[in-house]
Amino acid sequence: MLKALNRSKILWPLVALAILLLFNLFFTPNFFRMEIMEGHLFGNLIDIIKNAAPIMLLAIGLTLVIATHGIDISVGSVVAISAGVVAMLIGGDLEGNTRFPIAFAMAVALLVCTTAGMWNGMLVSRIGMQPIVATLILFVAGRGIAMVTTNAMVIWLYAEPFAYLGQGYLLGLPFSIYIVVFLLLATFLATRKTALGMFIEAVGINPTATRFAGINSKNILFGVYAFSGFCAGVSGLIVCSTVMSADGNNAGNLFELDAILAVVLGGTSLNGGRFFLLGSMVGALIIQTLTTTIYAFNVPPEISQVVKALVVYGVSLLQSDRLQVALAGVLGRREAA
Amino acid sequence: MSESAPILEINKINKYFPGVRALFNVDFRLFKGEVHTIMGQNGAGKSTLVKVLTGVHKHDSGEMLLEGKSIRPDSPLAAQKLGISTVYQEINLCPNLSVAENIFVGRQPMKLGRIDWKELNHRAEEALSRLHISIDVTQLLSSYSIAIQQMVAIVRVLDVSSKILVLDEPTSSLDETEVEQLFKVIRKLRDDGLAILFITHFLDQTYRISDRITILRNGELVGEFKTEALPKLELIAKMLGKELSEFSYDITGGESRKEITGADREAKNLLQVKELGLRGRIAPFSLDLDEGEVLGLAGLLGSGRTEMARLIFGIEVANRGEIHVRGKKKDINAPRAAMLAGMGFCSEDRKNEGVFSELTVRENIILALQGARGIFRYIPKKKQLEIADELIKSLDIKTPSANNEAGQLSGGNQQKLMLARWLATNPFILILDEPTRGIDVGAKVEVMELVLNLSRQGMGVIFISSEFEELIRCSTKIAVLKDKEKIAELSGEEMSESGIMHAIAGGK
């Protein structure tokens, strides 16, 4: 069991998360307290998952991109585009009247974001641009596009039904959690119950050999970037719905870094190859738990980033092969190679 | 040979890389006013010797004497300062600068702190005219042919203090008239008293340009010869390390493939290649492959064997000619198209173009078959394991289980793994580029037996090997290549080492 866990790479992220939670158990009063109010669950744990949802969604798409030995740093900007488009189409009417139906607005936002992802995919797969350069373009331009959609202002939304996405509850749990689980499950099935996952890993490990094996690696690359754009779109809808506003400048700002970190913490290597969707989710939870802990401890804001960095450093160290070999040696259960 | 003392003398030089002895007690001499060619197969030590001379690598022992003085350049720049000028295979020039700028970049004539353009262009013209080249030096380099660019590269490295000019494969991307242009320049420089070290794969060019030939094999010196005293056939024999007398007997004792061709003339044609070619890569060639045939591709390194295979499999797309598979014309513009037409291809570069070291053995085997089926017609894990286990058993791939990482397998087993990947797709044409390279003798025999078995079952195989012996043992016919061109096709009694040698040497 332990061996299987170790091979799937989920062990160490889980250990890190457990340590963080254990720390809180002892040092943060009421950290694990749950209350039921009006049939909804409330508490720090629920908040962590709820707040982590946008990053988790980004991490799902990014996991596949990173598995192909790529990167997508434009996702934060695409979040802003998604929020901007949906807010523009719903409109800031104080009475809560919508300019277009909410479902239509959401569909258009997702379409725009997927197109943005396709643009990245086109640059990487057809033109052969380096992924970081290709997505840097949208990283910069995306903010501009988002500003255009919101007319360089913050749009406030008053259409109540739209708030359900980010603030609503279903069966006692925040609705956004269901979205994450649904997308995660769908992605898992699409990659592991078809050949897609293997093809993605093959492209990440050895693109030439993949091509020689008769696989159209360009289409695979194109697809993962498009999907990453879609995921960023979903994430943007939730971000917008949570705060009921769209801010082209700040929505999704620096999300790409947290999302990349979540994927890496989850065990997927930036060198491409094997990917671990569940690991990425745990990675996102680690990041959010950390943030919540720092708030709960009233760590002065001027050093909170340093604390965060130190913990991330520790988790990364836990995952390094060398340290693991050393640890395993100490624990005396080193597997024969 | 009672010339004056050599300008360059290399004595008993040794160079080791981790685990490899690249040069072992190699001697080499270079005289003023001569063109000296170094020849040898891949891994013979040609490029290592040149790199030691030009300061890219440092030798471990032995000495280098330039005009009697011991030298030990520790960088290309140091070598250049000593008077050893080198033009590398890939032209290291800036296509977006003018010819004159390219020649003098880094040492432009200055006037009042600014570049003296008039002087620069004038000097560039002068330098080129010494080689009887008159072109507009203010034009962009990219507006000229590769041959002219090559000459600009030569002019760039030459200056008054140059004693030795090293040309590393300068002709590999030139066509015939361009080669002659370049040779004119080289002869002119030679007659001016420069010592020229020439490296090439092309046999004919060696004979056209060199005065002297040094042959290396496996890092050791085979000998130094005057060109006119070394017949082509002998040169080839020495490069391959066989005595000429060995060629005179044919391998009739070994397994002969003639029975198969003779017995079954009804065999159906699988592959017909008509005048397929790609400019700059390989001259148009035609091939025929019937059921149960093994077509061997013979030739020295760089003769175009790999290019031929890659063109057929669509890795590089031909710009002329046709491919017919089972009588139907196919448009092979990508490996995928070739695969769907019924072909399989094992690259000579297992590591970079074949094996996925971090995927499991099972995934490595299943990948091409799954690729052919597409993403959605997923082969269930259980079925995958069945296919993998069966191939692991039939090819005797040594792995603890189908779920181990492929990177842990030995070279020979990785080679069989690649064969397994293609056999899983059930192809009727299999192209194997150096499947026996870098694996131990036992595995070599296994791979060859596999090739024979497959052909007996009716598969058509194209088999590339540097070992003529292997080709003769496996093939029903052999196409011989030289200098990126198919020059002969041998079958029956002609298939012998001496037959191949004679074909390459160009005389019967």
pLDDT exceeds 80 at position B149: yes
Domain boundary among B206, B225, B246: B246
B46/B57 Cα distance (integer angstroms): 13
B351/B348 Cα distance (integer angstroms): 9
* CB–CB contact A214 B339 (8 Å): yes
Q: Which band of pLDDT confidence, cut at 50, 70 and 90, is reported for residue A249?
A: confident
User: What's the CATH code of the domain at B33?
Assistant: 3.40.50.300
Q: By CA distance, what is B344's nearest residue in A?
A: A213
B37/B296 Cα distance (integer angstroms): 29
Q: Does B315 touch chain A (CB under 8 A)?
A: yes
- Which residue blocks in B2-65 are alpha helix, DSSP H? 46-53
Collect all residues of chain A within an 8 Å Cβ-Cβ radius of residue B372: 214
Condensed to tens digits (0 to 9), the pLDDT of residues B434-469 reads: 888 767 666 777 888 888 888 888 899 999 988 888
DSSP string covering B417-451: HHHHHHHHT--SEEEEESTTTTS-HHHHHHHHHHH
Q: By CA distance, what is A200's nearest residue in B?
A: B375
Q: Does A199 touch chain B (CB under 8 A)?
A: yes
Are residues B441 and B477 located together in one domain of the fold?
Answer: yes
The SS3 assignment for B235 reads helix
Q: By CA distance, what is A204's nearest residue in B?
A: B356
The per-residue pLDDT for B260 is 45
Whether the Cβ atoms of residue A213 and residue A59 lie closer than 8 Å to each other: no
Whether the Cβ atoms of residue B205 and residue B180 lie closer than 8 Å to each other: no
Collect all residues of chain A within an 8 Å Cβ-Cβ radius of residue B358: 201, 205, 273-274
- Choose the mutation target among A3, A193, A198 for the interface with B, i.e. most B CBs under 10 Å: A198
Distance from A214 to chain B by nearest Cα, in Å?
4
Q: Does A303 touch chain B (CB under 8 A)?
A: no
Whether the Cβ atoms of residue A58 and residue A75 lie closer than 8 Å to each other: yes
Q: pLDDT above 70 covers what percent of chain A?
A: 94
Q: Does A214 touch chain B (CB under 8 A)?
A: yes
A135/A119 Cα distance (integer angstroms): 9
DSSP string covering B53-74: HTTSS--SEEEEEETTEEE---
- Report if residue B88 sits inside a domain: yes
Q: In angstroms, how far is the first alpha carbon of chain B from the final one? A: 32
Task: Give the closest of A194, A208, A216 to B336, CB-based.
Answer: A216
A209/B353 Cα distance (integer angstroms): 4
Are residues B196 and B275 located together in one domain of the fold?
Answer: no
- Report if residue B365 sits inside a domain: yes
The reply to whether ipTM tops 0.90 is no
Q: What's the domain count of chain B?
A: 2
Mean pLDDT over B173-198 rounds to 84
Distance from A25 to chain B by nearest Cα, in Å?
39
Size of interface A-B (CB pairs under 8 A): 78
The per-residue pLDDT for A335 is 45
B142/B131 Cα distance (integer angstroms): 20
Burial class (CB in 10 A: 0-12, 13-18, 19+), B138: middle
Mean pLDDT over B321-346 rounds to 90
Mean pLDDT over B265-269 rounds to 67
B209/A335 Cα distance (integer angstroms): 61
Report the predicted TM-score, pTM, of the whole model to 2 decimal places. Answer: 0.70
Collect all residues of chain B within an 8 Å Cβ-Cβ radius of residue A216: 334, 336
Q: In B110-160, where do the E strands start and end?
A: 110-111, 114-115
Q: Which band of pLDDT confidence, cut at 50, 70 and 90, is reported for residue A2?
A: low
A235/A165 Cα distance (integer angstroms): 11
pLDDT exceeds 60 at position B175: yes
Are residues B192 and B279 located together in one domain of the fold?
Answer: no
pLDDT exceeds 50 at position B249: no
Q: Among B249, B260, B331, B332, which Cα is nearest to B295's?
A: B260
Are residues B237 and B263 located together in one domain of the fold?
Answer: no
Are residues B75 and B37 located together in one domain of the fold?
Answer: yes
Structural domains in chain A, sorted by start: 42-298 (1.10.3470)
The 3-state DSSP composition of chain A as helix, strand, coil percent (nearest 5) reads 70, 5, 25
B140/B121 Cα distance (integer angstroms): 13
pLDDT exceeds 60 at position A303: yes
Q: Among A45, A286, A52, A287, which Cα is nearest to A180's?
A: A52
pLDDT exceeds 60 at position B362: yes
pLDDT exceeds 80 at position B243: no
A224/A236 Cα distance (integer angstroms): 18
Q: By CA distance, what is B340's nearest residue in A?
A: A214
Q: What is the DSSP letter of B197?
A: E
Collect all residues of chain A within an 8 Å Cβ-Cβ radius of residue B315: 211-212
A231/B99 Cα distance (integer angstroms): 51
Collect all residues of chain B within an 8 Å Cβ-Cβ radius of residue A195: 370-371, 373-376, 378-379
Cα A23 to its chain centre, rounded Å, is 25
Mean pLDDT of chain B: 84
Are residues B99 and B232 located together in one domain of the fold?
Answer: yes
- Report if residue B251 sits inside a domain: no
The per-residue pLDDT for B508 is 43
User: Which chain B residues in 408-437 lie under 8 Å from chain A, judged by CB atoms?
Assistant: 421, 425
User: Which chain A residues in 166-195 lie under 8 Å from chain B, judged by CB atoms?
Assistant: 193-195
How many degrees, rounded to 5, is the angle at CA A282 between CA A278 and CA A288? 145
B74/B56 Cα distance (integer angstroms): 7
pLDDT exceeds 80 at position A301: no
The SS3 assignment for B32 reads coil
Task: Give the closest of A194, A206, A212 to B378, CB-based.
Answer: A194
Q: What is the residue type of A34?
A: M
pLDDT exceeds 50 at position B482: yes
How many degrees, rounded to 5, is the angle at CA A76 between CA A143 and CA A150? 40
Are residues B408 and B489 located together in one domain of the fold?
Answer: yes
Q: Does A39 touch chain B (CB under 8 A)?
A: no
Q: Which band of pLDDT confidence, cut at 50, 70 and 90, is reported for residue A72?
A: very high
Burial class (CB in 10 A: 0-12, 13-18, 19+), B102: buried
Are residues B128 and B270 located together in one domain of the fold?
Answer: no
* CB–CB contact B371 A273 (8 Å): no
Q: Does B338 touch chain A (CB under 8 A)?
A: yes
pLDDT exceeds 60 at position A203: yes
Are residues B285 and B420 located together in one domain of the fold?
Answer: yes
Other Cβ atoms closer than 10 A to B464: 25
Condensed to tens digits (0 to 9), the pLDDT of residues B375-419 reads: 888 889 899 999 999 999 888 888 888 988 888 887 788 888 999
* CB–CB contact B352 A206 (8 Å): yes
* Torsion, CA A237, CA A241, CA A245, CA A247, rounded to 10: -30
- Report if residue B253 sits inside a domain: no
Condensed to tens digits (0 to 9), the pLDDT of residues A146-201 reads: 989 888 888 888 888 888 888 888 888 889 999 999 999 999 999 999 999 999 99
- Report if residue B330 sits inside a domain: yes
Could you tell me the two tokens for B148? 């002219």
Q: Among A91, A135, A99, A103, which Cα is nearest to A117's?
A: A135
Domain that holds residue B192: 8-246
Q: Which band of pLDDT confidence, cut at 50, 70 and 90, is reported for residue B312?
A: very high
Q: By CA distance, what is B372's nearest residue in A?
A: A214
Task: Give the closest of A198, A209, A216 to B370, CB-based.
Answer: A198
Domain boundary among B246, B276, B303: B246
Task: Determine how β-strand B164-168 pairs with β-strand B195-199.
Answer: parallel
Are residues B128 and B198 located together in one domain of the fold?
Answer: yes
Are residues B206 and B271 located together in one domain of the fold?
Answer: no
Mean pLDDT of chain A: 87
Burial class (CB in 10 A: 0-12, 13-18, 19+), B477: buried
Q: Does A213 touch chain B (CB under 8 A)?
A: yes
Distance from B381 to chain A by nearest Cα, in Å?
9
- Report if residue B192 sits inside a domain: yes
Task: Give the closest of B353, B378, B379 to A212, CB-based.
Answer: B353
pLDDT exceeds 60 at position A263: yes
More confident residue, B369 or B218: B369
- Report if residue B22 sits inside a domain: yes
For the ranges A75-89, A176-190, B70-84, the lowest mean pLDDT is seen at B70-84
Q: Does B385 touch chain A (CB under 8 A)?
A: no
Condensed to tens digits (0 to 9), the pLDDT of residues B43-56 reads: 678 888 888 888 88
The per-residue pLDDT for B245 is 53
Condensed to tens digits (0 to 9), the pLDDT of residues A26-66 reads: 887 777 777 787 777 788 888 889 899 999 999 999 999 99
Condensed to tens digits (0 to 9), the pLDDT of residues B94-142 reads: 888 888 888 888 777 777 888 888 888 888 888 888 777 888 888 888 8
Q: What is the DSSP letter of B411?
A: H
* CB–CB contact B353 A199 (8 Å): no
HSE (side-chain half, CA atoms, 13 Å) at A173: 12
Whether the Cβ atoms of residue B123 and residue B116 lie closer than 8 Å to each other: no
Residue carrying the six token digits 């997505």: A135
- Report if residue B3 sits inside a domain: no
Are residues B71 and B192 located together in one domain of the fold?
Answer: yes
Q: What is the DSSP letter of B267?
A: P
Q: Helices A217-243 & A175-192, crossing angle to 10 degrees?
A: 170
